[in-house]
Amino acid sequence: MSLLTVAPRPLMTRPAAARKPSGPSAVRPPVSVRHVVALRPVACQVSLDEPTWQLTRRGLVVVMGLLATVMGSAVVTCLVAFLSVSNSPL
C-alpha cells in the first residue's frame, strides 16, 4: 500500500481592495448630458359635425327622475343598513 500525501489547501480570502468613499461627501462620477429630441404639440381641428347630446325638456325630466331614483334608493339602503345594526351587547 502506498502512502498518499495530500497537501493542505491554501486559505482563500477576498482580495483586500481600497475602500471606496460613500455618503454625501463621496466623489461622484460626472453626469453625462444627453440630448433628447423634444416633441412639439400639434393642434388639431375639431369638426363641428360630431353628434352632441341634446335632450328635450321631457328627456331631461326622465334623466333627472332616474338619477333621483338611484340616489333615493342609495339613501334608503344606507338608512336601513344603519338601523339594522343592533345596540345590544354581544
- 36-64 pLDDT, tens digit per residue, is 777 777 877 766 676 677 889 999 999 99
Handedness of CA 57, 60, 66, 72 (dihedral sign): negative
Cα separation, 86 vs 90, whole angstroms: 9
Cα separation, 84 vs 86, whole angstroms: 6
- Is the pTM higher than 0.75? The answer reads no
- In tens, the pLDDT along 1-37 reads 556 666 677 776 766 666 666 666 666 666 677 777 7
Q: Which residue has the cell 461627501?
A: 25
Alpha carbon 75 to chain centroid distance? 32
Q: Map out the domains of the chain as residue ranges.
A: 57-84
Q: Which run of H or E residues covers position 76?
A: helix 57-83
